[in-house]
């Protein structure tokens, strides 16, 4: 059911998202494997199931949410392999709406400009005192993404 490109992109994302976290400074709130509690609740509701704690999310649920809410929503299924991975990771880490913003900055063809737009946005976020502590992690993720995509 899932494409090789999605599986590859998911592998990158899951290696960076980790397990359950509920950092009071993280604007996403409680998160498990990169899925926020709000995203999980919305997805469960959409399939007619009651809300439950994101701590208990299954791997199958994570995969389905990432596929529908991020991969397809960001249009990654219609992109080259490299752009698909970059845009998927961006959608997961920064929201689907940022993908279009960064694609425009990259004129839809320049991965380096896409990375720079993402880095600039992280620096903008880090102007907020509570978000500054996340900057190194965000930047390291972009550098890991660049290395990952160069090997595709």
The Cα–Cα gap between 125 and 20 comes to: 23
108-143 as b/e, with b when 16 or more CB fall inside 10 Å?
Answer: eeebebbbebbeebbeebbeeeebeebeeebeebbe
How confident is the model at residue 97, as a pLDDT? 96
Does residue 44 contact residue 149 with C-beta atoms inside 8 Å? no
Taking Cα atoms as reference points, which of 105, 119, 111 lies closest to residue 82?
A: 111
Share the mean pLDDT of the chain.
97
How confident is the model at residue 1, as a pLDDT? 84
62-120 per-position pLDDT tens digit: 999 999 999 999 999 999 999 999 999 999 999 999 999 999 999 999 999 999 999 99
How confident is the model at residue 98, as a pLDDT? 97
The Cα–Cα gap between 106 and 122 comes to: 16
Report the DSSP beta bridge partners of residue 36. 31
Instruction: Tell whether the torsion through CA atoms of 123, 124, 126 and 129 is positive or negative.
Output: positive
The Cα–Cα gap between 87 and 82 comes to: 9
């Amino acid at each position: 059911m899932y494409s090789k490109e999605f599986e590859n992109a998911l592998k990158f994302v899951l290696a960076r998202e980790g397990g359950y976290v509920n950092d009071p400074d993280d604007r996403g709130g409680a998160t498990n494997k990169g899925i926020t509690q709000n995203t999980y609740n919305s997805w469960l509701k959409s399939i007619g199931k009651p809300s439950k704690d994101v701590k208990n999310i299954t791997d199958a649920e994570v995969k389905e949410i990432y596929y529908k809410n991020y991969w397809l929503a960001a249009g990654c299924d219609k992109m080259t392999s490299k752009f698909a991975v970059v845009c998927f990771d961006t959608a997961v880490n920064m929201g689907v709406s940022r993908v279009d913003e960064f694609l425009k900055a990259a004129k839809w063809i320049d991965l380096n400009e896409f990375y720079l737009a993402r880095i600039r946005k992280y620096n903008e976020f880090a102007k907020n005192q509570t978000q500054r502590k996340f900057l190194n992690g965000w930047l390291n993720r972009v550098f890991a993404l660049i290395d990952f995509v160069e090997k595709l």
